[in-house]
A and B are shown apart, each in its own frame.
Chain A
Amino acid sequence: MIKYLLSAGDLTREQAIEILDIAEGMADVNDRDIKKLPTLRGKTVVNLFFEDSTRTRISFELAAKRLSADVINFSAKGSSVSKGESLKDTAQTLEAMGADAVVIRHPASGAANVLAHSNWINGAIVNAGDGTHEHPTQALLDAFTMRKRIHGSASKGKALEGLKVAIVGDVLHSRVARSNLLLLNTLGAEVHFVAPPTLLPANPSNWEAKLHYSLDETLQHEKPDVVMMLRVQAERMNASFFPSEREYARIWGFNADRLKTLKPGAFLMHPGPMNRGLEIDAVSADSPQSTVLEQVANGVSVRMAVLYSLLSGERAADV
């Protein structure tokens, strides 16, 4: 199987479906009284976080622990020569300690790629978010959630053929958007990005997606099956990407009125943590259409599947 998960685009359709299918098995484990498998006993998984992200870290931590791996959380602040410990020194240290897998979160786009293509470290590498580039396990858990909502217990083996997904918000800076674009394309879904022009790339010509400025028009004309709201980061607020939070919420935020326009069976996603009242209001966030908590639960199953795929060397059928 694969040794690295750096980009959602690294996965073939077969590999992606296989991981999602393994995650189905892991979800069953997570429903048991004793939520534990012995699969990765004796393996060491390091959560190497150069950026604070409690949610992602505990999700990976729980995933590794449920597979009986030993887990180390390594929080490093900053990077580069000027700012303390370098990525290289950290990686070499972990290698010397015998890490079997490194789950890396880093503020620099491409940090996971650099780690994988250096000879600093031999273990498996999972990109848990690199700058504004990618967050492939988020895309996998999102795809898993979509599949589960649509196909329920008959999800195994399914792709997302023909599914229309509208991803709304700060697309320019979103690693969630980039990874979802690639994986959704691979799985046959149709991606629509909705954002103010300032939060779309200046040149999206390599992207297989339709771009829209108006959320209301997109909801009305495209009738998406899935609407995924992106988090607006605090640092965008005062950098003239949009005039004010109020205006953003009015034009691009999801709210009770827009919820009514969703077609039957359509649902609403958010990678969390949510800015309630900004990109999503409380009514929508807590509505039956919202998958927010399912995404959190599925995140553990999917990350178990990823660690299993990278570290066990066994096939899906064995789960």
Chain B
Amino acid sequence: MYNSFVLKNVLLGDGPATDIQIEGDKIVAIGADLSGAETIDCTGLVALPGFVDLHTHLREPGFEQSETVLTGTQSAAMGGFTAVHAMANTSPVADTAGVVEQVAALGREAGYADVYPIGAVTVGLEGKQLAELGAMANSKAQVRVFSDDGKCVHDPVLMRRALEYVKAFGGVVAQHAQEPRLTEGAQMNEGAVSAELGLTGWPAVAEESIIARDVLLAEHVGSRVHICHLSTAGSVEIIRWAKARGIQVTAEVTPHHLLLTDELVRSYDAVYKVNPPLRTAADVVALREALVDGTIDIIATDHAPHPIEAKDCEWSAAAFGMLGLETAASIAQDVLIDSGKSTWARLAEVLSVNPAKIGSDAEQGQGLLVGAFANIALIDPKVKRKVVAESASKSINSPYVGLELPGRVVHTVYRGYFTVRDGALAKVGRA
């Protein structure tokens, strides 16, 4: 089906209202008074380049009771995303060309977003032996991001080799920074609250020591390194130092680390159990500032669906992780726009342009330009909405249920196709 329509009267980020004309899968014109076969009134809606998530758990293959590539990308579309990077901790692990090609194919079949598989750094995420990074890079999935996320590549020699090796094909290692010995049995942020609750602490130093090591390794071997889900004020300081020194490091922060604190753990409600854990209010402030000032490059959701039974139990038996795709833009708006501290242009950077750049996604994050792929998220920033448990995800482990968040994704255009229109998910994906 050929798409031809004009989005009328959209707000281009911080600029004035204008029209965007789409033909096929491309933006063909931007300007006043455009006309086309179909026009869609977008008065009051902010148009942003389709969001790109560098950190999504789609759970397929292996954990289809939590999420599938189809439901995960549907959830992504509902959140304004047009691309997701699927983490490697599936079963089997995405550590071979076969698995990454399968995930990529499932993504194309679903048709709700581009799915870029992330390859495991080590075989079976076991941290012992490099996976066939080259084979994954050269496969049809063209993997460029490698991560053992969920586990840290803690062996310094292995990390060094991985950082060096991926230079051969322009790849990047995304590190889950968690010193394993310092976090044995860890259940929540180590601090005043963990002392009261008697839950084993996950100290900030376990994250910061790995980040410090890895930026130094990246400097030493002249590679780039990406740090997943920064969660502490100290990590921000290390990244700031490394960037000032010219080290090629990029950093992400999750929506939940920008909003929620470890005080929530007092309920022992496992919906707040996540890794790295929710930190203190001071950490949240530091992360928000770092996102505004550019120390942190991107927001990535770490969308981590789990079945009900994995959360409906005592805290220490529960799984780590929370949903994030359908609430990420609202939290970005809260941090950057509603705070009065930044701009829509910055929001487009952290949710689209920068993650696409880090992930080497040539056809994503191009911005709203004539000739670019028509990947567009249209947001009504004025709406306040109360988050409900039901969503396009197969799971319900959202920590935001009952909270009022600003902004709503009204339309998502993915390569010229409405995956979401008027807040409703398209019944079928893009063919």
Contact = CB atoms under 8 A, between A and B. Distances in A.
Interface in B160-215: 187, 190-201, 203
A79 B199 contact: no
A173 B199 CA distance: 9
Interface stretch (B311-319, B367-375, B412-420): B311-319
A131 B198 contact: yes
Most buried by A among B191, B196, B310: B196
Contact of A202 (B187, B191, B315): B191
B298 to A, nearest CB: 30
Interface in A113-129: 113-114, 117-118
A114 B198 contact: no
A120 to B, nearest CB: 9
Interface string A171-187: 00101001000000000
Interface string B310-332: 10111111000000000000000
A214 interface: no
Contact-residue size bin, chain A (C-beta under 8 Å from the other chain): 20 to 34
Contacts, number: 88
Most buried by A among B193, B270, B314: B314
B190 A133 contact: no
A132 B220 CA distance: 43
Contact of B313 (A81, A117, A203, A205): A81
Nearest to A175: B198
Nearest to A205: B192
Contacts of B309: 81, 86, 88
Nearest to A206: B192
B314 A110 contact: yes
Nearest to B188: A109
A133 B313 CA distance: 17
A204 interface: yes
Contacts of B241: none
A274 to B, nearest CB: 22
A108 B195 contact: no
A202 B313 contact: no
B192 A114 contact: no
B267 interface: yes
Contact of B193 (A130, A178, A206): A206
Given A86-B313, A106-B314, 8 more contacts: A88-B313, A110-B268, A114-B315, A118-B312, A133-B197, A203-B192, A206-B192, A206-B195
Interface of B: 187, 190-201, 203, 267-270, 309-310, 312-317
Nearest first, the 10 closest Cβ-Cβ pairs linking A and B are A110-B268, A80-B317, A201-B195, A133-B198, A132-B198, A108-B314, A108-B316, A206-B192, A109-B198, A111-B314
10 contacts: A81-B317, A86-B309, A108-B316, A108-B317, A110-B197, A114-B315, A117-B267, A130-B198, A132-B198, A202-B195
